[in-house]
Structure 1
Amino acid sequence: MSEDLITLAVAEPSDVADFKKELQDAFAVAVVDEFGSLPDGPIPSDEDLANAMNAPGAVVLRILCNGQKVGGAVLTIDTTTHHNALDLFFLRVGEQGRGIGLEAWRAIEQRYPETITWQTHTPYFEKRNIHFYVNKCGFRIIEFFNKHHSDPNHPAQDDLPDGDAFQFEKVMRGGGIVA
């Protein structure tokens, strides 16, 4: 991995269709592995993706490995509070397991050094994601959403066969602006 150069670039409007397809393909793998098939329509839905990508403060980034598109991220950056969110994060199918995700996450942290906290979420069955966020990136689980405790900020979880999900937070030490 050390010879690969991982960089970030703002996604171009002409790339949005490919970005969405690659993200939905990457998310589909885990759902099919866990449940055997996809529910009706892609996950996340086109509407949920459009909402995330067009939300106030949204930044859509391409993850590049040696200049080639290998994934992407949708962030919500709050330039007032510096409490930011990683809304969507993916590597194209076949790009996992090479350290690209961790290098991309580090590049995101470096791109937003004033961040006080990062928050993200993932479905409960995504063991690989849970391992990545907790053991590799330094997030901690702060909440568990399920049918008895729904997530008011991410109704898209309802698209999954089982809407259970974890909420993660990473407090940036030594960086950030004190609010």
Structure 2
Amino acid sequence: MLHYAPILPQNYPVLTQIMTAAFDEDTRLHTSLLHDGPAGYNDGTLIRKLNENPDFISEKVLLDDKIIGAYTISHKPEQNILELLFLDPDCGNQGLGTQIWNHIEEHFSNCSRWVLETPSYSIRNHHFYTKKCGFHFVCEKQYPDATSFVFEKERKSVLDFQDMMKMQTELWEKHKDKWPPMQPEYGKDFILWMIEEVGEVISIIKKKSIHDIMDDPAVHSHFVEELSDVLMYYMDTLLRYQITLEEISKAYQEKHERNMGRNYAEEYQKLR
């Protein structure tokens, strides 16, 4: 279980040791060098400078009670900058980096735009930020002795199916030790829970007037929340039955085309 807490001066030595190991491993992985990183990464001055900067927000990351990394955010009205994020190499390939990023996004949920820089050679970092965290490449920056890539992420104001399925997957990852597996045999359970949420929507319609739903902010918010629950279980159902976005999109489009060619009045007349 990951925990987050303010960085204390007595944490500088262990965080410097972890930071040094993290940057050096990335350097050896992608270059012919054995040691390299930003100025002060291996002597304690960088973590001190970042943590004691009043314009920055820094937290250490703990796995149970053991410090395994840290991050620093530069918080500005127009955007947030991920100044630093590092994780103990011994804790790699466990999904912890993604969990840390999810925590950061939740902690700064009012931020609509994120920016970060990482060395141009750090292919593993590029993959992590683009494939796991949703960033996209913006530009290349040249420095006297190095080249970096700039990545950016903007929070969407309107979610699409891909966003929703990703969010439900992330939620399941967080609780997978207690929740049903992502297997088809559990799909029926989520269909039933979805129907239960539809019942909650119907209950509001039955108990409240159309005026309440449309004009009362509290009732309207509750109504939308229950509809969101329906969508969440719908996404869980797609995931359990391993139905891809391409499949559901194709089926939806084909059904729409058929519906556009139907004569509903004639069909209903035949049913009488």
- TM-score interval, smaller chain: 0.7 to 0.9
Cα distance per residue 1:89-124 (max 9 Å; x no partner): 111121111000000100011111111211111111
Q: Which has the larger radius of gyration?
A: 2
Partner in structure 2 of residue 118 of structure 1: 114
Instruction: Summarize the alignment of residues 5-84 of structure 1 with structure 2, pairs less than 5 Å apart.
Output: 5-33=1-29, 34-38=31-35, 43-45=38-40, 46=43, 47-78=45-76, 81-84=77-80
Does residue 94 in structure 1 map to residue 90 in structure 2?
yes
For the residue of structure 1 that corresponds to 2:71, the secondary structure is: strand
On the 8 A contact 2:51/2:57 being kept in 1, the answer is yes
2:60 is matched by which residue type in structure 1?
R
Partner in structure 2 of residue 140 of structure 1: 136
Using the alignment, how far apart are the partners of 2:55 and 2:15 within structure 1? Answer: 19
On the 8 A contact 1:121/1:168 being kept in 2, the answer is yes
1:113 is matched by which residue type in structure 2?
S
Partner in structure 2 of residue 173 of structure 1: 156
Deviation of 1:49 after TM superposition, in Å, equals 4.2
Bigger CA drift: 162-171 or 50-59? Answer: 50-59
Using the alignment, how far apart are the partners of 1:44 and 1:92 within structure 2? Answer: 19
Using the alignment, how far apart are the partners of 2:53 and 2:32 within structure 1? Answer: 30
Higher strand share: 1
* Residue 101 to residue 61, structure 1, CA distance change in 2 (3 Å): same
Partner in structure 2 of residue 153 of structure 1: none
In the alignment, structure 1 segments of 5+ residues that lack a partner are 151-157
TM-score (norm 1): 0.76
1:163 is matched by which residue type in structure 2?
A
Partner in structure 2 of residue 127 of structure 1: 123
Using the alignment, how far apart are the partners of 1:119 and 1:20 within structure 2? Answer: 24
TM-align CA RMSD: 2.1
Cα distance per residue 1:8-44 (max 9 Å; x no partner): 22212221222122112210112133123226xx644
* Residue 51 to residue 14, structure 1, CA distance change in 2 (3 Å): closer
Using the alignment, how far apart are the partners of 2:7 and 2:116 within structure 1? Answer: 20
Using the alignment, how far apart are the partners of 1:20 and 1:38 within structure 2? Answer: 14
TM-score (norm 2): 0.52
Cα distance per residue 1:104-150 (max 9 Å; x no partner): 1000111111112111111111111000001110011111113xxx4
For the residue of structure 1 that corresponds to 2:156, the secondary structure is: coil
Which protein has greater RCO, CA pairs closer than 8 Å, 6+ apart? 1
1:166 is matched by which residue type in structure 2?
F
In the alignment, structure 2 segments of 5+ residues that lack a partner are 159-272
On the 8 A contact 2:79/2:112 being kept in 1, the answer is yes
Using the alignment, how far apart are the partners of 1:118 and 1:7 within structure 2? Answer: 22
Higher helix share: 2
On the 8 A contact 2:18/2:68 being kept in 1, the answer is no
* Residue 173 to residue 67, structure 1, CA distance change in 2 (3 Å): farther
